[in-house]
Amino acid sequence: MVAAVQSYNHSKGYDSQVVMMGANDMEPGFGSASSTIAWAQGFASVSGYLYLDYGSADGCPQYSTGNGSCNNGWNQYHEWYLSWGHRLPLWRQKSTIPPWHASGP
């Protein structure tokens, strides 16, 4: 799907202004770490595009000096690997948005 949209963007001349990426809600509650990692590796090998992981890190410790355990057999390394080492902030309620973000554009 990402490649098809990118092809359309290219045919219309939009590709110099639009960057295509995939996205997935990858989190311990939805499946095993091994099947999720297999999806991520498969997506990267076929599409040639990056993806964003906007899933939660269910059961993972907030702070850890090692590879802490998460729900469903996942660990912090799995979360780090799937998110390219960069977690996306996800706020579901306005009251939980940090002041530095709420005052932005």
pLDDT for position 105: 47
Q: Is the pTM of this model over 0.85?
A: no
Predicted local distance difference test score (pLDDT) of residue 49? 83
pLDDT recorded at residue 73: 97
Q: What pLDDT does 92 receive?
A: 58
Where do runs of H (alpha helix) occur along the chain?
Answer: 2-12, 33-47, 76-82, 99-102
Residue 100, pLDDT score: 55
Average confidence score pLDDT of the chain: 84
pLDDT value, residue 46: 82
Cα radius of gyration (the chain): 17
Q: What is the mean pLDDT of residues 20-37?
A: 92
